Structures are given as structure tokens and as C-alpha cells.
């Protein structure tokens, strides 16, 4: 909301500069997001008296006037009705400017020179031509001549831009802001006369003055459904004449962000900006019948709104209807048919309380976010309807725009019980950590127009006060809300800072988390670059990896309202995201990368999706180029398998098996399932060429994933074993096996068969003669180290025989000569 400084100060005379006020308000929760000096870009616009006029010889309707502009006399041509001898006008001197960069130079009008221009309000404020029936600005008789416009009107002003949180809806009127400011600055609040009479600012809300003259309402208001609209006030103003508002009011409306239209509509907007209560003006002459009703829209009902759009009214929209049908969308926008025009003679000012939620829904559905809707949907002061209508009517009368009809029509189903809350000093201290006296609380709350009485001082909690909450403060529901009021007006910064000597560890521990951080550190030291990728992916990303509806990973959880199809489902694997990273980096010329991510993947389930932790890996290309020492270090299946082995070693996850052939997206002959305790906890492999093609990735990529839960389930606590005092003995063994025998199986078999073995390492594979075709020779280094002795040659030979016998039986292996 925009708050012009001069307007604000009309209600409380702040002795601060605007910057100080903005800071104080912000620190009290009334968030001033911006403060700017709004200067009307005009120059050389001054008061000037028309000394004499004569008609233009050749231009009918135009007058040639001689004007006294104080220091000089000007000949000016004008056709305005107010351009008469003796009137004081506002003129732009030659060389002067109007907003929008409009420059006024002497010009010839059919042989007559005009040295400047007499301006109307629209020209002065916007630089645009006069509106229909708009006369030039006329200044009161006696106005000094040659006085700049800036001194005659409030044109330049500071404007505060408020960014209000939803609880401060009472500040959606400038008076509400003034009330906060007056409390902070300790300056009195001065209300407009009508509102003062209605005790608008009181703790009980607006109250009808006793002397209020009730007339006989000419119009009847039917509220068949109090749920939609519990209170509706209609105030009639007659003898209306069409006019534009005075310059100061128009300028204030502009500064507040509202376009002025005509005196009647401007008065309703002015009062809305002042009090926060939206008003609407109907041309009473165009309302059919003697009654209006507030009801729910009927299917298929349409209304042409003020902006000229024909709108179909959504279901459950509140409408104002006369005998002919809807005439306004309640709380959002009026109808074209009953709008104020030059022909309007009688006006019905509407001031109502509409159900906030319904206004919000209708405003969303109609995509009409009007100032009125904004206020209704936050909840307006439920007591202020009549007061605001009376204020608007008085404003119209004061500006000679019409005569209010005595009294008003009202239907009211609201029973506003004053909200009373007990505020205990003990609770204040318990929440804030600072002791408050009832006097301090009372002073603060009374300054923002709450009413405070001594409360049940005998209650065991100690001193307390009884606080009556003004009905405009719809946000105040409970004691804590009052505590916030006290705290923010006292100043959060004045509450003191607690010392932290009392640090108590709080209950929750997560051993998983510790493991995950260790895994991260290991992967970094193994050269892995951690990635964080989007958990929203597209169905296409999953399809590219060959996951269709037959695979759980092809059945993702779908967002109902995605922003785009590329981010429309929850990831079922970390691999799609890592593929995007790999692809993007390849395209920026990075020759190779080993990347990983730890995050969650999602699968549909009965109510909430299953969320599972996963580690994803991917690598491509040359990780380290060849150097004079050797290399290069290339990514590939075995390198990644090595990383995973290191990981298992770190965690103490043994008994991990690799079984051939993982499914998509892996190459069937270059992939494995990673199995622990008979269940698959991950997969590893090179990507299937078809997937690479779908992903448009030019280089081979190796990828892997591991389930975090699966990994943790494979972790076995390690037992300590005494260190052997005896020297290890190494023996090499070369066995020839048929090509189809998995080398890993041979190694495992040796490990299980041999005795006292501490290490079995495959150090070479040989496939050339003398090894027969379709066979391979595996060179394996065995390290023996029993706990209690050094093995004899006989024992070593015996073990070798045992191993070879097993290998012969299981794999048709022979010892290489």
C-alpha cells in the first residue's frame, strides 16, 4: 500500500522526517519497503489573473485573454468556460513544462499568438488533454499572482510503500497506519469529524452517535444469506452534479496509486484509502426496483463490469442484485450499467462486510485483484460500515458534489461482541524473557486504542490486565497476540539478548546422517565432484533411460500442477539428473568427470510417496590426463567398481556380491547388480548405447546407484583381531580357466578354500599363447599370515593343492606351467 506523507500527517502530526518514520514503522512490523520523493515534473506553472478577454477573430469559441502573471503580462488563447475576466487561472508560461515532458512554447493560433496555456487538473497532473467537460483550474479570488503551482497545491510529496504482512490488515487504511505511527511517536491521532463522532478508533469499534438522525430508508436491503454478507449499509446522496475532484484530492489519489475518475467515485476511493473500508457508488437512478439483494451467483449469470468486460460469474460468487439481476460483483468490481456518469443525479453508496474467503476465491477465479477485493479478503472492521458510508457522504457534500439523504438503509446480522483477553504478566515474561509491568503494557496497548482494565489480580499467576481488542484487529485472537503487540511497540531490539550458557542437547540423534557425511568425505577424496540436481524431472528423462511402465522407475509420482512437463514428476533415480550434468559438462568441453549425488528418490504409495535415500554415481572420459609418471586415469566400469569397494570398506559392508546383467539403462554385458543379503542394493555399469543415443551423449558413460538403506543394512560391526607377530609369506599362482569362468568367482573360491590367507590379489590376466584359445590365465598373488606361526613349505604346497583341486572341480582350472 502507498501512503503519501502529507496525507498521513493530516491524522497525526509526526515530528519525524519521513525516513525516521519509515524506520520506526518498519521496526514495529509495519514494513515500509520503499520510500520515495514523488515530484510532479512541471515548471513555470503559476497563478495568473485574466485581466481582459475578447473572442478570437477567426476561431469560434476561443477567447484571447490578457493575463497578469505577477511579474509579466501574457496573451493566452483558451476555449475553457472558466476563462473569464476576473478569474484567477493556473497557466504555463512559455518554456514551461507539464508532466510527461510536455513543453509549452509560444504558438500561433490562426494569426494570434498564445504565450502559454491555461491548464486543467488533468493537464497539470498528467500532461494529458482535458477530460470531457473538464474546465481549467480556477483559484480562489485573492490568490496572489505569479505563485508557482507547487506552492498552491500539494503536488510533491514523500510516499511510503508498505509491504504489509497479512496480520496487519488494519493498516490497509492510512488512518490505521496513522494510529500505529501516533502510538510510536506519542503524537495525538486526529480523526475526520464524522469518524470522530462515530468513535471510529475506539476499542469497541464504530458506534452510532446518539444524535444520529435516522431517516426513512428509500431502499430496502435484503440479505437472504448472512453467510455471504452479514452486514450491508446503503447511503443515498441526491442532487449530485457531475464534477472532477479538487486538484489536491486527485493528486493524493494518484500518489496513493488510485486513478481519479470523478468526484463521487473519488470520494468512495478516498474513504477506502483512509479507513480501509471499500465502498462502491451506484447510480441509484439505474437500479431497478426499490430493493437490492446480496446473494450467491446463479449458474450462467453474466455481468459487464466497470472495465467493460463481459464476465461469466463463477459459482459461489457473491453478487449485488436488483430486480433485473446482478449489478455488481460484491467486493470486487461494480457493473457498467449502474456506474456513475455525467447523467447521474442520485447515488447509492454501498458499504458492506463480505465473507473474506468467498471474495478471495471469486477474485482469483475472475483474475480481478482490485483494491477492494484485497481489503475484503483480509477482513475489514466489521463495525465500520455505516461510519465509512457517512464519511463518504459528508465528503461528497463538503466538495459540493451532492446532498446526503438523512439516515441510511442497513441490514445487519453481525453481533460484534467485544473481544476481551486476559494478559498475564507471568506469560509475558515466560514468552519474551523480559519482565513487564502492567503499567507498561497498559500504556502500549492504550496507545494503539485497545482498552485496558485491571484484571483478576488475585489469580495465582500474579498480576494481569483485561484487554478489550478493537474489532478492526481481526488478527488478535489470544494472549500471545497481545504479547506480540506489546513486544513490537516496546521494540524487539529493547528486549535484551539471552545468554547461551544453558545449552542442552535436544533429544534427536540420527546415526545414518553421520555415515552419510563420511561417505561424502570419502567420495571427495576419491576424486568425486558432488552435485545437487533437481528432484523434479520430466517423464522423457525416465523414458530415455529405458524405464517404461514395466519398471517402478518408469512410474513416477506426478505433480498435479507442474510448471512444465520437464519438471512434472518426482525423480525415481539420481541417474537422470547426473546424466544431464554429465552431458552439459561434456558440451562445455570438460574432458572427463566423476560426479555423484546423495539425495532422495520417490515412488508412489498409498498415501504419501515412499522417500528413499540414494547415492548416484556417473563418470565419463579421462579423469586425469597422461603425465610423465603414467596414466591416463580413465573412467570406466572397473574404476567405479573400485570406488564402490572403497566405500564398502569404509562402511564395513562385506559380503557384497556382483551379479551379471543389470537392466536398463545399462549395457547388458557391462553391468552388474550389487547384492547384499540376497537383495539388490544397487547397480553398476556402462550405459546402454541406446540410452546414450536417446540422451544424445557422445561419450561412453559409467553409472551406478546404491540404496542408502540397503547399504546400511549390509554394514556389519567389525571385530577386533590381534595382529599377527609372524611375517607374511607371498606365493603367486597362475591358473588357466575357460574364458567363460568369471574371474571374480575364481578369486572368491580361492579366498574361501585357502587357509590363513590375508589377501588374494589378481595382478594379471593373460590370453595369448601358451594359453590355449578361449582360455585365460589369471595371475594371482596370495599372502599367507597365520596368527601363531610361519607356514612351512609343506603347508604352503598343501594349501596350493587344496586350492587347485577346488578350482579344477569347479572351474576346470589347470595350473599354468
Partner 1 sequence: MLSSEGKDESFFISVKKGGKARDFIMRKVCASDMKHNLAEMKSHVLEEISKVSTSEELDSVRVRYLGRKGEISVLLKHIGSLAPEERPEFGAAVNALREQVADAISRRKDELDKLALEEILHRDTIDISLPGEVYEIGGLHPLTKAMREVASVFSSLGFAAYESREAETDEMNFVKLNIAPGHPARDMQETFYLSDNTLMRTHTSPGQIRGMLSLKGKLPVRFIVPGRVYRRDPTDASHHPVFHQVEGLAVDIDVTFKELRGVLSAFMKRFFGQEVSTRLRPSYFPFTEPSCEVDISCMFCKGKGCSVCGGSGYLEVAGAGMVHPRVLVNGGYDPGKVTGFAFGFGLDRLAMLKYGIDDIRLLYGNDRRFLSQFRGL
Q: Whose Cβ is closer to partner 1: residue 361's or residue 729's?
A: 361
Dihedral sign computed on CA atoms, order 29, 31, 37, 38? negative
- Closer to partner 1 by CB, 493 or 740: give it: 493
Residue closest to 564 by CA, chosen among 531, 599, 608, 534: 534
**Residue 380 beta carbon to partner 1: minimum distance, rounded to whole angstroms:** 13
Quote the least distance from Cβ 632 to partner 1, whole Å. Answer: 11
- Measured from the CB atom, the residue of 79 and 538 that comes closer to partner 1 is 538
Q: Give the C-alpha separation, 718 to 736, whole Å.
A: 35
CA–CA separation, 574 and 535 (whole Å): 8
Q: Of 508 and 727, which has the nearer Cβ to partner 1?
A: 508
Concatenated DSSP letters of 539-574: HHHHHHTT--TTSGGGSPPBPSS-SSGGG-EE-S-S
Pattern 428-467, partner 1, x by CB under 8 A:
--xxxxx---------------------------------
Q: How far is the CB of 27 from partner 1 (least distance, A)?
A: 6
Considering only residues 307 through 336, tell me which ones interact with partner 1, judged by CB under 8 A.
none
Cβ 772 to partner 1 shortest distance, Å? 39
Q: What is the dihedral of CA 379, 392, 363, 317, to 10 degrees?
A: 90
Going along 163-260, which residue ranges are E strands? 220-222, 231-238
Q: From CA 147, how far away is CA 136, in angstroms rounded?
A: 17
Contact pick of 112, 397, 447, 581 for partner 1 (by CB under 8 A): 581
588 binds partner 1 per the rule CB under 8 A: yes
Q: Is 478 in a helix, a strand, or coil? A: coil
Q: Give me the least distance between CB of 167 and partner 1, in Å please.
A: 4
What residues does 2 pair with on adjacent strands?
161
The phi, psi pair for 8, rounded to 5°, reads -60, -40
How far apart are the two ends of the chain, measured CA to CA in Å? 93
Cβ closest to partner 1, residue 589 vs residue 770: 589
Of residues 597, 598, 593, the one with CA closest to residue 701 = 593
Select from 123-131, 316-324, 410-418, 424-432 the region that touches partner 1 (CB under 8 A): 424-432
* Stretch near partner 1 under the rule CB under 8 A, chosen from 4-12, 439-447, 587-595, 794-802: 587-595
Q: How far is the CB of 376 from partner 1 (least distance, A)?
A: 11
Of 210 and 499, which CB lies nearer to partner 1 in the complex structure?
499
Of positions 51, 559, 659, 758, contacts partner 1 by CB under 8 A: 559
Nearer Cβ to partner 1, position 437 or 534?
534
- Which listed residue (628, 678, 768, 773) binds partner 1 by CB under 8 A? 628
Strands 107-109 and 102-103: unpaired
14-33: which residues touch partner 1 (CB under 8 A)? 26-29, 31
Alpha-carbon span 715 to 454, nearest angstrom = 66
Identify residues 732-771 at the interface with partner 1 (CB under 8 A): none
Query: Closest Cα to residue 519, out of 617, 662, 620, 603?
Result: 617
Range in contact with partner 1 (rule: CB under 8 A) among 87-95, 534-542, 546-554, 725-733: 534-542
Q: Strand, coil or helix: what is 617?
A: strand
Nearby residues of 415 by Cβ (< 8 Å), 6 or more positions away:
none
Task: Estimate to the nearest angstrom the gap between the alpha carbon of 170 and the chain centroid.
Answer: 22
C-alpha 346/C-alpha 360 separation (Å) is: 31
- Report in angstroms how near the CB of residue 753 gets to partner 1 at its nearest: 35
Supply 482's cell numbers.
497481545
Q: In the range 647-676, which residues lie near partner 1 by CB under 8 A?
A: none
Residue whose CB is less far from partner 1, 262 or 635: 635
Cβ within 8 Å of residue 765, ≥6 positions away = 743, 776, 777, 778, 779
Buried/exposed 261-300: b ≥16 CB within 10 Å, e otherwise: bbbbbbbbbbbbbbbbbbbbbbbbebbeeeebbbbbbeee
Task: State the CB neighbour count (10 A cutoff) for residue 498.
Answer: 9
Site string for partner 1, 461-480 (x = CB under 8 A): --------------x--x-x
794 lies in the site for partner 1, by CB under 8 A: no
* Residues in 133-172 that interact with partner 1 by CB under 8 A: 165-168
Nearer to partner 1 (CB atom), residue 221 or residue 531? 531
Compute the least distance from the CB of residue 331 to partner 1, in Å.
15
Nearer to partner 1, 630 or 773 (CB): 630
Preceding amide of 665 cis, omega within 30:
yes
Contact 683, 705 (CB under 8 A): yes
Residues 558, 755, 789, 802: which binds partner 1 (CB under 8 A)?
Answer: 558
Closest distance of CB 11 from partner 1, Å: 22
- C-alpha 8 chain-centroid distance: 29
- Residues of this chain, 27-86, that bind partner 1 according to CB under 8 A: 27-29, 31
CB of 487 to partner 1, least distance (A): 5
Name the minimum Å distance from CB 165 to partner 1. Answer: 3
Q: Which three cell numbers stand for residue 327?
A: 449489478
What does the block give as the cell for 644?
Answer: 564402490
Residue with smaller CB distance to partner 1, 51 or 559: 559
Window 494-533: residues binding partner 1 (CB under 8 A):
495-500, 503-510, 513, 517, 520, 523-533
Q: Tell me the number of residues near partner 1 by CB under 8 A.
A: 91
Min dist CB 396 to partner 1, Å, is 32
- Nearest CB to partner 1, comparing residues 308 and 505: 505
Contacts (CB under 8 A) with partner 1, residues 226-255: none
Q: Which residues, numbered 370-389, are part of the site for partner 1 (CB under 8 A)?
A: 377-378
Which of 261/595 has CB closer to partner 1?
595
488 binds partner 1 (CB under 8 A): yes
Closest CA to 653 of 601, 615, 619: 615
Q: How far apart are CA 324 and CA 92, in angstroms?
A: 50
Judged by CB under 8 A, the chain residues 593 through 622 that form the site for partner 1 are 593-596, 599-600, 602, 607-609, 611
Residues 90 and 78: their CA atoms lie apart, in Å, by: 12
Amino acid at each position: 500500500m502507498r501512503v503519501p506523507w502529507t496525507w498521513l500527517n493530516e491524522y497525526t502530526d509526526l515530528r519525524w522526517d519521513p525516513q525516521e518514520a519509515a524506520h520506526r514503522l518498519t521496526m514495529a512490523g509495519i514494513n515500509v519497503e520503499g520510500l520515495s520523493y514523488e515530484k510532479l515534473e512541471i515548471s513555470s506553472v503559476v497563478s495568473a489573473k485574466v485581466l481582459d478577454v475578447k473572442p478570437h477573430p477567426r476561431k469560434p469559441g476561443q477567447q484571447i485573454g490578457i493575463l497578469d502573471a505577477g511579474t509579466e503580462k501574457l496573451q493566452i488563447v483558451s476555449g475553457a468556460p472558466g476563462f473569464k475576466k476576473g478569474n484567477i487561472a493556473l497557466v504555463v508560461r512559455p518554456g514551461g513544462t507539464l508532466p510527461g515532458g510536455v513543453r509549452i512554447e509560444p504558438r500561433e493560433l490562426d494569426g494570434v499568438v498564445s504565450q502559454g496555456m491555461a491548464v486543467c487538473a488533468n493537464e497539470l497532473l498528467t500532461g494529458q488533454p482535458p477530460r470531457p467537460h473538464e474546465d481549467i483550474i480556477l483559484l480562489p479570488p485573492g490568490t496572489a499572482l505569479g505563485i508557482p503551482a507547487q506552492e498552491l497545491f500539494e503536488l510533491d510529496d514523500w510516499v511510503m510503500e508498505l509491504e504489509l504482512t497479512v496480520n496487519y490488515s488494519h493498516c490497509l487504511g492510512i488512518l490505521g497506519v496513522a494510529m500505529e505511527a501516533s502510538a510510536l511517536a506519542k503524537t495525538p491521532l486526529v480523526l475526520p469529524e464524522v469518524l470522530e463522532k462515530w468513535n471510529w478508533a475506539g476499542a469497541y469499534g464504530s458506534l452510532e452517535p446518539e444524535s444520529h438522525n435516522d431517516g426513512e430508508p428509500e431502499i430496502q436491503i435484503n440479505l437472504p444469506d448472512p453467510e455471504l454478507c452479514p452486514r450491508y449499509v446503503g447511503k443515498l446522496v441526491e442532487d449530485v452534479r457531475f464534477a472532477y475532484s479538487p486538484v489536491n484530492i486527485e493528486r493524493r489519489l494518484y500518489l496513493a496509486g488510485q486513478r481519479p475518475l470523478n468526484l463521487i467515485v473519488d470520494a468512495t476511493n478516498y474513504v477506502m484509502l483512509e479507513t480501509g473500508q471499500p465502498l462502491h457508488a451506484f447510480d441509484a437512478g439505474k437500479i431497478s426496483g426499490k430493493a437490492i439483494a446480496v446473494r450467491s451467483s446463479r449458474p450462467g449469470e453474466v455481468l459487464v463490469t466497470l472495465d467493460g468486460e463481459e464476465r461469466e460469474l463463477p459459482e459461489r460468487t457473491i453478487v449485488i442484485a436488483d430486480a433485473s439481476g446482478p449489478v455488481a460483483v460484491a467486493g470486487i468490481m461494480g457493473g457498467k450499467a449502474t456506474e456513475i456518469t455525467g447523467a447521474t443525479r442520485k447515488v447509492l453508496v454501498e458499504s458492506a462486510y463480505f465473507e473474506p474467503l468467498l471474495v478471495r476465491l471469486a477474485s482469483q477465479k475472475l483474475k480481478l485483484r482490485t483494491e477492494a477485493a484485497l481489503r475484503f479478503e483480509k477482513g475489514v472492521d466489521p463495525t465500520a460500515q455505516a461510519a465509512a458510508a457517512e464519511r463518504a457522504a459528508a465528503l461528497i457534500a463538503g466538495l459540493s458534489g451532492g446532498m446526503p439523504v438523512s439516515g441510511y438503509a442497513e441490514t445487519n446480522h453481525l453481533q460484534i461482541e467485544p473481544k476481551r483477553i486476559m494478559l498475564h504478566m507471568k506469560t509475558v515474561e515466560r514468552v519474551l524473557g523480559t519482565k513487564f509491568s502492567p503499567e507498561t503494557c497498559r500504556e502500549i496497548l492504550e496507545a494503539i486504542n485497545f482498552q485496558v482494565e485491571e484484571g483478576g489480580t488475585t489469580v495465582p499467576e500474579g498480576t494481569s490486565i483485561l484487554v478489550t481488542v478493537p474489532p478492526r484487529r481481526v488478527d488478535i485472537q489470544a494472549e500471545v497476540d497481545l504479547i506480540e503487540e506489546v513486544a513490537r511497540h516496546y521494540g524487539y531490539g529493547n528486549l535484551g539478548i539471552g545468554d547461551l550458557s544453558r545449552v542442552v542437547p535436544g533429544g534427536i540423534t540420527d546415526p545414518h546422517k553421520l555415515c552419510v557425511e563420511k561417505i561424502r568425505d570419502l567420495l571427495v577424496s576419491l576424486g568425486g565432484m558432488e552435485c545437487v540436481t533437481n528432484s523434479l524431472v520430466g517423464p522423457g528423462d525416465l523414458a530415455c533411460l529405458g524405464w517404461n511402465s514395466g519398471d517402478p522407475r518408469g512410474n513416477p509420482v506426478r505433480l498435479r500442477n507442474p510448471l512444465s512437463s520437464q519438471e512434472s514428476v518426482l525423480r525415481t533415480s539420481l541417474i537422470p539428473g547426473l546424466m544431464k550434468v554429465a552431458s552439459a559438462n561434456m558440451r562445455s568441453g570438460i574432458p572427463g568427470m566423476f560426479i555423484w549425488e546423495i539425495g532422495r528418490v520417490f515412488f508412489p504409495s498409498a498415501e504419501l510417496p515412499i522417500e528413499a535415500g540414494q547415492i548416484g554415481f556417473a563418470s565419463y572420459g579421462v579423469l586425469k590426463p597422461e603425465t610423465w609418471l603414467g596414466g591416463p586415469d580413465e573412467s570406466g566400469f572397473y574404476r567405479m567398481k573400485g570406488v564402490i569397494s572403497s566405500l564398502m570398506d569404509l562402511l564395513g559392508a562385506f559380503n557384497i556380491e556382483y551379479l551379471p546383467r543389470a537392466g536398463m539403462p545399462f549395457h547388458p554385458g557391462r553391468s552388474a547388480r550389487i547384492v547384499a543379503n540376497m537383495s539388490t542394493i544397487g547397480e553398476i555399469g556402462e550405459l546402454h548405447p541406446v540410452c546414450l543415443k536417446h540422451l544424445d551423449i557422445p561419450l561412453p558413460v559409467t553409472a551406478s546407484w546404491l540404496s542408502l538403506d540397503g547399504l546400511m543394512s549390509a554394514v556389519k560391526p567389525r571385530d577386533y583381531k590381534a595382529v599377527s607377530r609372524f611375517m607374511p609369506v607371498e606365493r603367486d599362482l597362475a591358473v588357466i580357466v575357460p574364458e567363460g569362468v568369471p574371474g571374480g568367482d575364481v578369486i572368491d573360491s580361492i579366498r574361501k578354500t585357502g587357509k590363513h590367507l590375508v589377501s588374494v590379489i589378481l595382478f594379471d590376466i593373460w590370453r595369448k599363447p601358451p594359453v590355449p584359445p578361449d582360455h585365460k590365465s589369471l595371475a594371482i598373488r596370495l599372502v599367507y599370515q597365520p596368527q601363531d606361526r610361519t607356514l612351512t613349505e609343506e603347508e604352503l604346497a598343501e594349501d596350493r593343492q587344496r586350492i587347485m583341486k577346488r578350482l579344477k572341480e569347479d572351474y576346470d582350472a589347470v595350473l599354468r606351467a
